């Protein structure tokens, strides 16, 4: 059985994952309104991925016989000063998630909940990819600040965070 401490922390993380999805939809909306279709599509896709993460956690708790309380989410930020600001926000959000996922892993380890520790390993690996993608996107956005359509071109041909295998 998962410890109460782990369940409480995972329940909080579920809320953060849904909030991240909500924020990414707001960012996608911003880019759609500014006629950046590649950025809009990228963030809508990120929103779906965050929702999938939340649902993976929800289903994990259900599979362990625990009824999750998903709570609500605050309104996301929707207005931005330029095309780079939402990406900075997204990278900071991913960095905060990495800290929280690491804390969940540590709680599972401290409480000797090896199943939950193993479950959280997937999320640790995922966060490496998420931070790399947002970091790459931010680097390109900052280099193209005066010509934002170059960022659109980059997204049309490359996947941020992708590394040669």
Q: What is the pLDDT of residue 36?
A: 96
Contacts of 150 (CB under 8 A, 6+ apart): 140, 143, 144
Burial of 35-47, coded b for 16+ CB within 10 Å and e otherwise, reads ebebbbebbbebb
The CATH number of 4-70+77-157 is 1.20.1260.10
Encode the chain (165 residues) as per-residue pLDDT tens digits: 788 999 999 999 999 999 999 999 999 999 999 999 999 999 999 999 999 999 999 999 999 999 998 888 999 999 999 999 999 999 999 999 999 999 999 999 999 999 999 999 999 999 999 999 999 999 999 999 999 999 999 999 988 876 666
What is the residue extent of each domain of the chain? 4-70+77-157
């Amino acid at each position: 059985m998962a410890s109460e401490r782990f369940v409480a922390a995972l329940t909080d993380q579920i809320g953060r994952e849904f909030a991240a999805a909500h924020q990414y939809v707001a960012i996608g909306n911003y880019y759609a309104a500014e006629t950046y279709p590649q950025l809009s599509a990228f963030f809508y896709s990120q929103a779906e991925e965050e929702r999938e993460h939340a649902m993976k956690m929800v289903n994990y708790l259900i599979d362990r016989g625990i009824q999750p309380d998903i709570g609500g989410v605050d309104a996301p930020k929707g207005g931005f000063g330029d095309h780079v600001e939402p990406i900075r926000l997204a990278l900071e959000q991913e960095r905060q998630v990495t800290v929280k996922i690491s804390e969940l892993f540590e709680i599972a380890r401290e409480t000797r909940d090896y199943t939950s520790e193993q479950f959280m390993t997937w999320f640790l690996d995922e966060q490496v990819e998420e931070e790399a993608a947002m970091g790459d996107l931010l680097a390109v956005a900052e280099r193209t600040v005066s010509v934002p359509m170059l960022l659109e071109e980059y997204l049309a041909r490359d996947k941020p965070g992708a590394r040669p295998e």
